[in-house]
Structures are given as structure tokens and as C-alpha cells.
């Protein structure tokens, strides 16, 4: 990657979902790939996630959802990013998200959604390809 700074990613767990093993594995893997990663911890609100993303000047938010609230949470984070003038921050994610819901979220502008068992190098490659495109538009 030929950018001026490392890719910065906020890995977030929203709502009451208490399962964060996958989010921690993704965060560690992205760090191992040379990215700067901030992990929010459990039980964050969309408002807290967007505030942290803006404060930390991240390129992307990786939202993990295993609770079934993915449609509400992804939409709210995306809505808040737009309202705060931070729509350039890539919102992507993972978890247990039915294919039809994933297609609908992506049609609304959410980036790729990665399911359980995804090779974490695939996530890193996606970010390495997508973030420079977004930086060029900013």
C-alpha cells in the first residue's frame, strides 16, 4: 500500500451482543497486517461508535453483529456518519447476517459483510483495496 499513513480501523460491538471473540480475532489480525486498530469493547451505542471513529480519525469501522439487530445497527451507524459529515468512513462488518439482509445493507452503501469462518487476510485485503479509493475521494 502506498498511502501516507497506515489504515486506521475501529472494530466495534454494538448493542447488547456480548460475544466478542470474533471481533477480537479480526482486530488482532488487522494489527498483524500493519493496520492501526482501535477496539471499542462491548455494548457500545451507534452514537458512541461514530463519536469514537471521528475522534480517532479512522478510515473504516468494522461493526460486528451476532445479535440479530444488524439491520438497525448498521443503518443507524451509517445515518450518524452522514449526519456528522463523516460519510467517507467505510462501514463494513461481519457476524451472522442473512444473505438477503447483507445484500440490502450493501445496496444502502454498507461495505462488505464477512460471515463466520472468513479468512481474516481476506478482510485485510478488502481494506487495503477499498480505503485508498475512499481517501482519494476525500
Cα–Cα distance measured from residue 81 to residue 111, given in angstroms and rounded to the nearest whole number: 14
pLDDT in tens, 37-88: 999 999 999 999 999 999 999 999 999 998 889 999 999 999 999 999 999 9
Q: Let me know if residue 2 belongs to a domain.
A: no
Q: Domain span at residue 17?
A: 8-137
Average pLDDT estimate for 10-19: 87
Q: What is the CATH number of the domain that holds 77?
A: 3.40.50.280
Q: Let me know if residue 31 belongs to a domain.
A: yes
* pLDDT of residue 27 exceeding 60: yes
* pLDDT of residue 3 exceeding 50: no
Q: Let me know if residue 99 belongs to a domain.
A: yes
* pLDDT of residue 15 exceeding 60: yes
- Number of compact structural domains in the chain: 1
Which residues 6+ apart lie within 8 Å of 67 measured at CB? 15, 16, 17
Global pTM value:
0.94
* pLDDT of residue 123 exceeding 50: yes
pLDDT in tens, 92-102: 999 999 999 99
* C-alpha closest to that of 10 among 68, 70, 50, 67: 50
Cα–Cα distance measured from residue 22 to residue 28, given in angstroms and rounded to the nearest whole number: 10
Q: What percent of the chain has pLDDT over 70?
A: 98
For residue 30, the model assigns a pLDDT of 98
Amino acid at each position: 500500500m502506498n498511502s501516507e499513513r497506515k489504515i486506521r480501523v475501529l472494530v466495534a460491538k454494538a448493542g447488547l451482543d456480548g460475544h466478542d471473540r470474533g471481533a477480537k480475532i479480526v482486530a488482532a489480525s488487522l494489527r498483524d497486517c500493519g493496520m492501526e486498530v482501535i477496539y471499542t469493547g462491548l455494548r457500545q451505542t451507534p452514537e458512541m461508535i461514530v463519536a469514537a471513529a471521528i475522534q480517532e480519525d479512522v478510515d473504516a469501522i468494522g461493526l460486528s453483529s451476532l445479535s440479530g439487530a444488524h439491520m438497525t445497527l448498521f443503518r443507524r451507524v451509517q445515518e450518524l456518519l452522514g449526519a456528522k459529515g463523516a460519510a467517507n468512513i467505510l462501514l463494513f462488518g461481519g457476524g451472522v447476517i442473512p444473505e438477503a439482509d447483507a445484500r440490502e445493507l450493501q445496496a444502502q452503501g454498507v461495505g462488505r459483510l464477512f460471515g463466520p469462518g472468513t479468512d481474516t487476510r481476506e478482510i485485510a485485503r478488502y481494506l487495503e483495496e477499498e480505503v485508498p479509493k475512499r481517501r482519494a475521494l476525500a
